[in-house]
Amino acid sequence: MDPLKSIFRNSSLLLAAQTGSSLIGLALVVLLPRFLGDVEFGRLHLVLSLTMMFGVAVEFGLTQVLARAIACQRGLARPYLRTAVVAIAILGAALYVALLGTVRLLGHHPSTLELAMILGIVMVGEAFCQVLRAVFQAHERMLVPVLARIAGNAFTLAVAVPLLLQGQGVQVVAIVMALAVVLQVAVNTVAVRRLEGFRRPASAEAAGSALLAAGLPFLVGQALGNLYFRMDVVMLGWLTTEATVGWYGIASRLLDALCFVPQVLTMATFPVAARLWVTAPDEFRATIRKTLHVLLVVTVPVVVTLLTLAREIVSLLFTLEAFGPAVPILQVHAVTLGVLFVDFFLVGVLMAIGRERTWIAVAAAACILSPLLSRLLIPLAESRYNNGGIGAALGTLLTEVFIMACALRLLPAGTLGVESRRVAVQVAGAGVAMALIVLLGRALDLPWMLAAVGGGLAYLALVIRLAILPSEATRWILAVVPWRAPARVV
């Protein structure tokens, strides 16, 4: 199959399913702050950030190892997955204890420790889900794990909301989240055995030491990546109040909820890129370049919408009375989102072609840069605006810009060039036009949703007029969307 067609096919299926999952997740993001308040939600967001940081070590970088190896040799599915499950069980137990020790060492409120005890189960369960998803990803069959995630999010929403209405607190929400992860693990485990790799004779027994050695560079790279990306929350909790963490948390959770866009594209691209880099380097470069162009076209309207309508979004979802200080944080995060989308994709490509060791040096530098920026900018924003979250958001933005500059330099020579620069300029120009139309609509007191639709239509018209999308993407859209009206029966 044509590489781009494979990417677009898997991306479209993933996008449809992931959109449903993200809408449910967004409902949770909206409802939890409303029911819990800024302080309790701040505690929840802090513990979730810590579990994400420790969770990378639980997974030990095995997700990328499994996806890359099984994509090239399907017979490795059974032995590699068996070894990965054993490794995660051992690492998960050790890091669960380490998580609790860290929370106690930081001296947080006793309820924060109780949350960590519950959400530590979520951390280990997510690691199992990730390695199972990696096997599906290697087979370029991602629908089941996405549907499992939808089921988990739907379960959390359906069970947690009635309990919150009855006056239950954040600990009960955490228990529901843990049960949802157990559900996801069960669904993925049942379905994974039906994949092609499990019907083939095993290629070889994967030595535990060899598999862990292969995963170590991914572990280090991912651990450092999560450390610099989540360090802002830890620093914010240290330098400011739990309420400030709550303001920052709702903006960050919106950021996380929208990250399914580059995740979907990267997951669909990863096995294709790994295969083409070995078999057809020129085709690899063309495929990555065109896929990045599609990502840029999708990214810009999301950034513009959040940037120009941050106040209206916070008012609608969370109320300005409780979370008004989150508005400037969300505006900074909107710009960060655009950079993050590109960073996510580029780092995924580097991992697919075996440049994870080079990436480690960049991530390590970011881990030094991020806390330094937070230590400088958080107190500055706290003293000037009484909102340290603005400083934390600016530190994250500057760190992501640094990551993008490094990732672009690490790409294989010839992957991007004049064409990519032209597309970036055109997309940025279309985004500016969209922003001006949205702001004009708000100045004329049009309903903000109507202004957003008008700006979006103008952006779409410019993308079509300038022919920014790759021709393969355009043909795929024309093939899957029923543009023609059905013939009338006479």
Lowest mean pLDDT among 56-70, 264-278, 322-336, 424-438: 56-70
Could you report the per-residue pLDDT of 442-472, keeping only the tens digit for each? Answer: 899 889 889 999 999 999 999 988 888 776 6
Both structure tokens of 294: 């599609």
**pLDDT score for 235:** 83
Highest mean pLDDT among 125-134, 272-281, 353-362, 391-400: 391-400
Whole-number percent of the chain with pLDDT over 70 = 83
Contact between residue 245 and residue 42 where contact means Cβ atoms under 8 Å apart: yes
Contact between residue 433 and residue 261 where contact means Cβ atoms under 8 Å apart: no
Please report which confidence band the pLDDT of residue 481 belongs to, taking 50, 70 and 90 as the band edges. Answer: very low
Q: Is the pLDDT of residue 310 over 60?
A: yes
Q: Is the pLDDT of residue 167 over 90?
A: no
Contact between residue 379 and residue 392 where contact means Cβ atoms under 8 Å apart: no
**pLDDT score for 323:** 84
Could you report the per-residue pLDDT of 197-231, keeping only the tens digit for each? Answer: 777 665 555 445 566 665 566 656 666 666 666 77
Please report which confidence band the pLDDT of residue 427 belongs to, taking 50, 70 and 90 as the band edges. Answer: very high
First to last CA, the chain: 40
Ranges of each domain in the chain: 3-416
**pLDDT score for 430:** 94
Q: What is the CA radius of gyration of the chain?
A: 22
**Average of per-residue pLDDT across 106-134:** 85
**Average of per-residue pLDDT across 112-130:** 89
Which helix (H) or strand (E) covers residue 335, if one does?
helix 326-352
Q: Is the pLDDT of residue 134 over 90?
A: no
**pLDDT score for 221:** 63
Phi then psi for 13, rounded to 5 degrees?
A: -65, -45
Both structure tokens of 303: 């950034």
Could you report the per-residue pLDDT of 265-302, keeping only the tens digit for each? Answer: 777 777 778 778 878 888 888 888 888 898 899 899 99
User: If you count DSSP H runs as helices and E runs as strands, how many of each does the chain have, helices first?
Assistant: 18, 0
Q: Is the pLDDT of residue 5 over 60?
A: no
Both structure tokens of 344: 């996510």
Contact between residue 478 and residue 319 where contact means Cβ atoms under 8 Å apart: no
Q: What mean pLDDT is reported for the chain?
A: 81
Please report which confidence band the pLDDT of residue 262 belongs to, taking 50, 70 and 90 as the band edges. Answer: confident
Could you report the per-residue pLDDT of 372-419, keeping only the tens digit for each? Answer: 999 999 999 999 998 999 999 999 999 999 999 999 988 888 888 888
Contacts of 184 (CB under 8 A, 6+ apart): 125, 129, 145, 148, 149, 151, 152
Phi then psi for 256, rounded to 5 degrees?
A: -65, -40
Lowest mean pLDDT among 331-340, 356-365, 369-378: 356-365
